[in-house]
């Protein structure tokens, strides 16, 4: 499989397509999950590694798609991760 075919991809968090010598990553509605979902994060880092190794690509652009939830979702995300979880027991090593 060619490197370019391996770079063109899409999932719930992002998509990537090649336009000439440019790789374009579009963040989608699950983009905030990249912070907490290890599988999605791994997929993104694998994609970035493939882009880095592609000799014909000269630039990378990361943009928000029309699916990107925007500011209100960002506030919801921050609220969700900063909620008081003191009543939950967490065992630490």
Which pLDDT belongs to residue 1? 54
Q: Who's near 53: CB < 8 A, 6+ residues apart? A: 3
Strand ranges across the sheet with 22-27: 9-10, 14-19, 22-27, 59-64
Kindly report the pTM of this predicted structure.
0.68
Tell me the chain's radius of gyration from C-alpha atoms: 17
Q: Locate the domains of the chain by residue range.
A: 3-81
Q: Who's near 50: CB < 8 A, 6+ residues apart? A: 3, 6, 7
pLDDT tens-digit series, residues 31-57: 778 888 899 999 999 999 999 999 999
14: phi then psi, degrees, rounded to nearest 5: -160, 165
Q: Which fold has domain 3-81?
A: GMP Synthetase; Chain A, domain 3 (3.30.300)
Nearest to 14 by CA among 58, 65, 48: 65
pLDDT tens-digit series, residues 52-91: 999 999 999 988 776 665 656 656 776 787 766 555 544 4
């Amino acid at each position: 499989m060619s490197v370019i075919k391996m770079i063109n991809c899409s999932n719930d968090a992002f998509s990537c397509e090649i336009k000439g010598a440019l790789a374009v990553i579009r963040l989608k509605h699950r983009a905030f999950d990249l912070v907490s979902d290890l599988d999605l994060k791994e997929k993104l880092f694998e994609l970035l590694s493939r882009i880095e190794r592609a000799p014909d690509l000269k630039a990378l652009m990361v943009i928000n798609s029309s699916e990107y939830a925007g500011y209100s979702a960002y506030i919801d995300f921050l609220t969700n991760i900063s909620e008081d979880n003191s009543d939950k027991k967490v065992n630490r090593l």
